[in-house]
Structure 1
Amino acid sequence: MIKRNLLVMGLAVLLSACGFQLRGTGTTELAIKELDLSARNAYGETVTQMRQMLESSGVKVYTGAPYKLVLTDEQENQRILSYAGAGRTGEYQVTTVLNYDIRGQNNLDLLSDKLEVQKIFMHDGNNLVGSDQEAATARGETRRELIQRMMLRLQQLTPAQLDQLQQTADARAKAEAAALEAAQKTEAETPRQSPLELPKQ
């Protein structure tokens, strides 16, 4: 028994040394320590849980932070995978897609991407209440997984990478402003044609 316990402990130490972590037990510490957070649905479950996750990971979430995570759009679709007829059990799939932006100074877009999570649940035509609970559970699980994946995306970002993205965005915005100014100047300097005068009858 002692040998088995020592073996299990040894394997756990070995795996953790290799960087292996059980799902849900790893650290969620971020290199970004300050972040603004907003969403189209400002009081929705996703943005509320995302804020809680960020704060529990040591991130100060406040308006006016150097970088901003914007949950631009969240869409949920449900479809039948298999259907066995009225009053019978069938498989349903719920898919949630979350589009997001990371913005920097002057509200410039630094990064835009999306996350997609799918879950399958059973629908029992003879137990509608239980089926509704199954669907609600599946939606809750997709939301939690979306937030976990977002945290993993954020973990991969460093302040240095964000600074580089900010410089690129600044240069792009400057070039676009210069091009617009040049176009306006050209238009202003182009002589206007006088309206065509028709000869008097």
Structure 2
Amino acid sequence: MIKRNLLVMGLAVLLSACGFQLRGTGTSELAIKELDLSARNAYGETVTQLRQVLQSSGVKVYTGAPYKLVLTDEQESQRILSYAGAGRTGEYQVTTVLNYDIRGAHDLPLMSDKLEVQKIFLHDGNNLVGSDQEASTAKVETRRELVQRMMLRLSQLTPTQLEQMQQTADAKAKAEAQALEAAQKAEAETPRQSPIEIPQQ
């Protein structure tokens, strides 16, 4: 495992030295230059890493930006893929699902989507410490990949697309407001019938 990690790190160093950049790592510039960022867990690892990657990519992250990325929910689960009995090696899978919204002016939702990342790690019943490290590494890698995929999603959005989404959201909000106003007006103009009085015998 250590040899494999060293090999991967070595290849990454060599590729970066040659000018190669992984897609979605935040090294490429985004069309979005200003972005508000928030999450249910405001101090969580995912939102913290994402903020750092955005800023290193030249994006100004601040409250009140024209567009807002909201990490609405992050769920992590783990399940056994194969189990060979006590004291033996089995495969586990960790899955993280990240739901998010992109909102525009007046906090109107422009789009909602989710990202899902899965990693498989080995659990050795004879080496619990090593297995715990494997699990921790899998979770770290999962979060890193989530951030990379989010950056890739953001890199595919252009200001023109966001403006069109905003116009659609504005039109929908206006139509809903007009429908509500019309319903309230109709209700106000509808004569209310007084209770029928039954004559006493």
Please indicate the TM-score interval, normalised by the length of the shorter structure: 0.7 to 0.9
CA distance in 1 between partners of 2:165 and 2:91 (Å)? 43
| Structure 1 contact 81–93 (Cα < 8 Å) conserved | yes
Any idea what the Cα deviations from partners look like across 1:29-52, whole Å, max 9, x if unmatched?
A: 101100000000000000000000
Q: Is 1:128 aligned to 2:133, yes or no? A: no
CA distance in 1 between partners of 2:25 and 2:145 (Å)? 14
* Count of residues paired in the alignment: 184
User: Which residue does the alignment assign to 2:11?
Assistant: none
| Structure 1 contact 36–67 (Cα < 8 Å) conserved | yes
Q: Is 1:78 aligned to 2:78, yes or no? A: yes
Letter in 2 for 1:79: R
| Structure 1 contact 75–98 (Cα < 8 Å) conserved | yes
User: Which residue does the alignment assign to 2:42?
Assistant: 42
User: Which residue does the alignment assign to 2:99?
Assistant: 99
Any idea what the Cα deviations from partners look like across 1:1-48, whole Å, max 9, x if unmatched?
A: xxxxxxxxxxx9xxx9xxx96557784210110000000000000000
Q: Where does structure 2 lack aligned partners over 5 or more consecutive residues?
A: 1-14
Letter in 2 for 1:156: Q
Letter in 2 for 1:87: G
| Structure 1 contact 28–151 (Cα < 8 Å) conserved | no
TM-score where L is the length of structure 2: 0.86
User: Which residue does the alignment assign to 1:68?
Assistant: 68
Letter in 2 for 1:185: K
Structure with the larger RCO, 1 or 2 (CA within 8 Å, 6+ apart): 2
Identity of aligned residues (%): 85
**SS state at 1:66 partner:** coil
| Structure 1 contact 37–63 (Cα < 8 Å) conserved | yes
Deviation at 1:194, TM superposition (A): 1.6
TM-score where L is the length of structure 1: 0.86
